[in-house]
Each structure stands twice: as structure tokens, then as C-alpha cells.
Amino acid sequence: MISALAGLFTTPIELTGIQSFLLMLPLCLSIAIVYKTTRCRNLRDVPVAALVLWVTIVAGMYAVGFGLWLVFEIMV
């Protein structure tokens, strides 16, 4: 059992393209929640503000990624 558990840390897990994009979503959500928790004066405002920030971060990152991909395709 110990060697099987150690194997999880020594062998990388293969991720497809969509899986790596999906792993970005909870990371961005946690960043948005922590940031808005420190900025909002009223705790009731945090869920909506964090959701708006999360959508903004994800849309911005996808837009930048698409733009860089487009530049790469034009250059090649």
C-alpha cells in the first residue's frame, strides 16, 4: 500500500488538453474568493463579487490564450 501511494507522487499523471483547462477553474475560483474576502466590507457581498471576479479571470485568461494562439498561428 505504501509503494502504491508513493507511486502517485513519483509518476506523473497524463492530462489531456481539456483536463488542463478544467484544472484552471477551481484555482481561479479560490483566488477570487480569497481576494474578495479581503476586499469586501460586508460578508454577504463576497459570493456574488467572487463569482463575478471568477468569470472575469477565466474569460480574460481564455481570451489571452486564444490571442497568443492566434499570433502563433499567424507567425508560423
Is residue 62 a part of any domain in this protein? Answer: yes
Is residue 9 a part of any domain in this protein? Answer: no
* 49 Cβ contact partners less than 8 Å away, ≥ 6 residues apart: 36, 39, 40
Report the mean per-residue pLDDT for the chain. Answer: 93
Please state the domain count of the chain.
1
Is residue 11 a part of any domain in this protein? Answer: no
Task: Tell me the pLDDT tens digit for each residue of 14-69.
Answer: 888 899 889 999 999 999 999 999 999 999 999 999 999 999 999 999 999 999 99
Is residue 3 a part of any domain in this protein? Answer: no
Is residue 63 a part of any domain in this protein? Answer: yes
Structural domain of 41: 20-75
pTM for the full model? 0.78
pLDDT of 7 > 90? The answer is: no
Total residue length of the chain: 76
Is residue 12 a part of any domain in this protein? Answer: no
What is the C-alpha separation between 67 and 2, in angstroms, rounded? 45
Is residue 59 a part of any domain in this protein? Answer: yes
Is residue 6 a part of any domain in this protein? Answer: no
